[in-house]
Each structure stands twice: as structure tokens, then as C-alpha cells.
Amino acid sequence: MDIVTDTGVGGVIMMPSRRRRRIPKALAWAAVTPFAVWALARGAGLERGSLATQLMTATPYAAAGSLVPVLIAVLIRNRAAAAVALVTTAALGLSVLPRALGSTGSATGTPLRVLTLNTFFGGAEPEFVMGLIRHLRPDVLSIQELTPGLVEELDRSGLKDLLPYRTLEAEWSSGGTGLYARYPLTPLKNMFEVIGHNMPAARMILPGAKPVEIAAVHPLPPLGGQVHDWTAAIGAFPSASPDTIRILAGDFNASLDHAVMRRFLSRGYVDAADSAGQGLVPTWPAGRRLPPIITIDHVVVDRRVNVNAVSVHTVPGTDHRAVFADLRLPPP
């Protein structure tokens, strides 16, 4: 529509009106749909294939990003899209935020300190690893990508004196794995079906506590066709036992946003970092220009175990951060 303006001197000027540009409401739907699909896939455990499985580890970032479609929908005044965006943000938030809150129980019970570290083909600096062990005083060390060379270097640095008992399956590859302990270990050969890397398990007797079964775990990463072996490996991990306390520690190559990991935890376990409010602290990739972005290293414990504290530590020479869990075992 044009506006007629009288000039006062016998003429008029036709001026075009300024039309208000309207942002299409479809833009709100375009913004919210990817996040809504993500929330649905995460909640229902619908991730399939290697790419979707890897992307699912970014759910904490998707939860934060889902606030953007809420703002867009509100500004555009698309009420339906705003409602869907709010539900999406709530669903993603509820799946992520509890990991930062924690729900640790009583600190009573027999102490058991567990440290896990992926050494990146044995590249972790032995002296730094030993300094961490002396500082944290773990009773058990689960170590992945353990090479024969690193075994020798750690022993020369004093590990055989601090953690003299061991069940090792070292290799000159990413498949090597081992358990070191302060107390005697009895190897367990049939605790679960091992699929992928070596994953030794052992029984340990602590004074004043029930027997503890510990496994050093390291399934293959879900890359390409390996996603099937990764799924099978985590699915093969044993359920919690009413007679024995079980602890699995290592590089799971999985986050709490993976359906297969949640199914495993539902069989009688909790993630120690999640329980301690440290579940959003990333563990990989470390030692690079960019900080770690995803959480795939875990100490998983029987639900009867109280988690006193969890801490995460950067170790030079490896792309994984070490995870330390200070636990309290139930009475026998």
C-alpha cells in the first residue's frame, strides 16, 4: 500500500509504505526438528550403525544447543514449535543433568580405591603414572593398551612394590590390558565372554569385605563394522551377582547416552562418576590442542557399593584421562 503525502505546493508525492518483514514460522520447525529427533533417538535407544552411535556421545552438547530452537520459536511466536522445543529440551536435560548432580551414599564401609587408564599404545609417561599412583594410592589399577615395554618401565619405576599382584595380558598393540592390585588376585577365566581386546578379570579378597570380582574392560570402538562387536562386547558383560561384588573399570568406548551401556547398567550397576556428580567430565581425547569432549572411560560398580568420590586426571603421553574412584564396600 502506498501513502499519499501533500507537499503544500500543489503536488503530492506517492511514498511506498514500509512492510514489516515476517519470519516464516517454518524456520522454528526447521530449528527444533533435529533436536527433537535426537531426543527421541536417545530416549528410545534408536541409534543404529557406526555414525549414529558415535554422534550419540555428543548428547550433552545437543542438550545445551536445544535451547536455541526454544528461543527461535518464542521470537517467531510459533506456539506449537515452542511447545515441542520445550519438551525436547526437558527430555535431553533430564537425561544429562543428573550426571552433574550426583547421588552418593554413605561413606561407611571397607575402602576400595580403583584407578583406570588407557595408555594409548603404552605411550603414557611411566614416571607421571607412578606419581599419580603414589598420590591417589589405588588398591586396583585397570590399565588398557598395555604393552610389554610399558610393563617393564612401570616395574622399573616402582609399580611392583606398590601394586605387587597382577593379572596381565599385555600386547604390542591396542589389545593389551592388565590388572594390578594391592591384594592377592585369583584370575577368572569365565567371568564373561571376551569380545575384542583382552579383558582380564580376577577375584580379590579384602579384609572385612565380601570377595570382589574386578574386570579390566576395553571393547573395540564402534567404528565402521566394529560397531557390532562393540555392541556384543558390552552386552556380554556380566550382570551383578547377589553373592559377589563386581566392578568393571576401563575404556568402554561408550557413554551413558548409548542404549547398550544403559542396558548393561540396568543389570545391577551404577557408573561411579555419575553417582559422584562427575559424569559430565570428559575423558577423551586428551593431550591435544582441543580439550577432551566426550566421556567414555568409566568405573562401573555394583549398586551396593557406596561411591565416596571420583576424580579425573590428565596423563601425558596418552589420549585418555585417568578416572579414579574412591569406593566403600558393603560389609560381608
What pLDDT, in 10s, does the model give residues 240-253? Answer: 999 899 999 999 99
In this predicted structure, what is the pLDDT of residue 107?
Answer: 72
In this predicted structure, what is the pLDDT of residue 287?
Answer: 86
Among 245, 244, 254, 246, residue whose Cα is nearest residue 274: 254
In this predicted structure, what is the pLDDT of residue 67?
Answer: 97
Q: Give the percent of the chain with pLDDT over 70.
A: 92
Residue 90: how many other CB atoms lie within 10 Å: 13
In the predicted structure, residue 189 carries a pLDDT above the cut 70: yes
Higher pLDDT: 141 or 330? It is 141
CB 301 within 8 A of CB 323: no
Quick check: bond before 291 cis, omega within 30?
no
CA 208, distance to chain mean position in Å, is: 32
In this predicted structure, what is the pLDDT of residue 8?
Answer: 53
CB 272 within 8 A of CB 298: yes
What domains appear along the chain, each with residue ranges and CATH number?
A: 26-96 (no CATH), 106-329 (3.60.10.10)
In this predicted structure, what is the pLDDT of residue 24?
Answer: 82
268: left (phi over 0), alpha (psi -120 to 50) or beta: left
Measured CA angle at 254 (ends 253, 258), to 5 deg: 155
In the predicted structure, residue 175 carries a pLDDT above the cut 90: yes
Rounded to whole angstroms, what are the CA distances from 326 to 82, 101, 308, 315?
A: 43, 17, 5, 19
Handedness of CA 95, 97, 100, 103 (dihedral sign): negative
Res. 18 pLDDT band, cuts 50 70 90: low
User: What is the pLDDT averaged over residues 184-196?
Assistant: 96
Among 277, 279, 204, 216, residue whose Cα is nearest residue 249: 216
CB 140 within 8 A of CB 179: yes
In angstroms, the CA 122 to CA 22 distance is 60
Res. 39 pLDDT band, cuts 50 70 90: very high
What single DSSP character describes residue 155?
H
Res. 12 pLDDT band, cuts 50 70 90: low
